């Protein structure tokens, strides 16, 4: 583990991309059934953990606009602490530091990934020995995208994103990710009457063979014209797609140099970054690397 002499354990929380996102139906509780392909990228929030002498949880710095108890890091830690207390009777608290790199509400899953890294790391530090299945179940209660980050493998996902089949065979290209400066409200997209909800269900072989679309893209582009504009611009260079419910869009490239060359040609007002697609979560690479 990435330990340092001061007792802090440093573990990344990577972003994900939805390489496609199909909406195949709607459940009785209003939630939508999806089929999607998740891949991680090596762009990460940076978390650090240290056990305390008392039983408190702290988080520094706080995330702007997110109350301490609402932060997915604290919600994940509390959920695990509760189980740990039942198992062990008492548990030390933890200091947690967060360097927020990933844009919030961008469809990159940063909050979900922070939650998953917290579950994985505190499970190890508190020696709870919960399985990935148990941690993924706890994570699912925090958000539909948490389980894929807990399991740490690129995956074909069904249900609301919790039924996962690993896809280690995916290519690992370089991505140029453009970050339109708008915050997309996921609920607003899923409740829009123009959203299509009847994409045919495909099997994993088909999913891996053909390039799917993002069914949210048309609605997001209409409600948030900045996203449509960024898609049009990036499409001039390479096929561009929305991730999740946006606002971020991405294109894939065979090399880092190619992706940087395109990013250098974007007008200065566009925020973007280049990252590598990876089929194993960088958090798993740190926490579970052979010693």
Ligand X SMILES: C[C@@](CO)(OP(=O)(O)O)[C@H](O)COP(=O)(O)OP(=O)(O)OC[C@H]1O[C@@H](n2ccc(N)nc2=O)[C@H](O)[C@@H]1O
Q: Which active-site residues does the annotation give?
A: 16, 145
Q: Is 107 in the site for ligand X (CB under 6 A)?
A: yes
Q: And the tokens for 178?
A: 């453009």
Among 139, 161, 180, 244, indicate the residue that binds ligand ADP (CB under 6 A). 244
* Cβ proximity of 201 and 35 under 8 Å: yes
Piece of 113-121, 183-191, 226-234, 267-275 that binds ligand X (CB under 6 A)? 183-191
Q: Is 139 in the site for ligand ADP (CB under 6 A)?
A: no
Which of residues 114 and 258 has its CB atom nearest to ligand ADP in the complex? 114
Piece of 31-39, 71-79, 118-126, 282-290 that binds ligand X (CB under 6 A)? 31-39
Q: Is 122 in the site for ligand ADP (CB under 6 A)?
A: no
Q: Does 92 belong to an annotated binding site?
A: no
Residue 72 binds which of ligand X, ligand ADP, none (CB < 5-8 A, kind-dependent): ligand ADP
Piece of 26-34, 73-81, 84-92, 96-104 that binds ligand X (CB under 6 A)? 26-34
Q: Does 281 belong to an annotated binding site?
A: no
Q: Is 71 in the site for ligand X (CB under 6 A)?
A: no
Q: Does 106 belong to an annotated binding site?
A: yes
DSSP string, the chain: --B-TTS-EEEEEEEEEEEEEEEEEE-TTSPEEEEEEEEEEEEEEEEEEEE-SSS-EEEESPPTTS-GGGSHHHHHHHHHHHHHHHHHS----EEEEEE--SPTTSSS-HHHHHHHHHHHHHHHHTT----HHHHHHHHHTT-TTHHHHHHTB-EEEETTTTEEEE-TTS---EEEEE--S----HHHHHT-TT----PPP--HHHHHHS---BTTHHHHHHH-HHHHHHHHHHHTTS--EE-TTSS-EEEEESSHHHHHHHHHHS-TT--EEEEEEESB-HHHHHHT---
Binding mask 23-62 for ligand ADP (x = CB under 6 A): ----------------------------------------
Q: Is 109 in the site for ligand X (CB under 6 A)?
A: yes
Residue 144 binds which of ligand X, ligand ADP, none (CB < 5-8 A, kind-dependent): ligand X
Q: Does 191 belong to an annotated binding site?
A: no
Q: Does 113 belong to an annotated binding site?
A: yes
Among 73, 102, 144, 150, indicate the residue that binds ligand X (CB under 6 A). 144
Classify burial at 11, counting beta carbons within 10 Å of its beta carbon; exposed 0-12, middle 13-18, buried 19 or more.
Answer: buried
Classify burial at 37, counting beta carbons within 10 Å of its beta carbon; exposed 0-12, middle 13-18, buried 19 or more.
Answer: buried
- From the CB of 231, what's the least distance to ligand ADP, in Å? 17
Q: Does 244 belong to an annotated binding site?
A: no
- From the CB of 117, what's the least distance to ligand ADP, in Å? 10
Q: How many CB atoms lie within 10 A of CB 255?
A: 10
Give contact residues for ligand X (rule: CB under 6 A). Answer: 18, 30-32, 34, 107, 109, 143-145, 160-161, 186-187, 190, 244-245
Binding stretches for ligand ADP (CB under 6 A): 63, 66, 70-73, 104-112, 114, 244
């Amino acid at each position: 583990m990435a330990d340092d002499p001061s007792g802090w354990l440093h573990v990344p929380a990577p972003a994900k991309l939805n390489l496609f996102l199909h909406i195949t139906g709607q459940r009785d509780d209003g939630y939508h059934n999806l089929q999607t392909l998740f891949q991680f990228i090596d762009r990460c929030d940076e978390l650090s953990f240290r056990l305390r002498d008392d039983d408190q949880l702290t988080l520094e710095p706080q995330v702007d606009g997110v109350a301490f108890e609402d932060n997915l890091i604290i919600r994940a830690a509390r959920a695990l602490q509760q189980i740990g207390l039942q198992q062990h009777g008492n548990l030390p608290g933890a200091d947690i530091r967060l360097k927020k790199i990933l844009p919030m509400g961008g469809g990159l899953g940063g909050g979900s990934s922070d939650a998953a890294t917290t579950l994985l790391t505190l499970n190890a530090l508190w020696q709870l020995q919960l399985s990935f299945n148990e941690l993924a179940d706890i994570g699912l209660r925090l958000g539909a995208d948490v389980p894929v980050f807990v399991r740490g493998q690129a995956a074909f996902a069904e249900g609301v994103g919790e039924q996962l089949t690993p896809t280690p065979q995916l290519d690992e290209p370089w991505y140029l990710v453009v970050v339109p400066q708008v915050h997309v409200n996921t609920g607003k997209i899923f409740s829009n009457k123009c959203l299509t909800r009847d994409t045919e269900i495909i099997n994993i072989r088909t999913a891996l063979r053909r390039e799917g679309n993002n069914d949210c893209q048309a609605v997001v582009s209409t409600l948030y014209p900045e996203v449509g504009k960024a898609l049009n611009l990036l499409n001039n260079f390479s096929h561009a797609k929305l991730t999740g419910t946006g606002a971020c869009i991405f294109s894939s490239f065979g090399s880092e140099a190619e992706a940087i060359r395109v990013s250098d040609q974007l007008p200065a007002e566009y925020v973007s970054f280049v990252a590598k697609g990876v089929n194993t979560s960088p958090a798993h690479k740190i926490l579970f690397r052979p010693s």
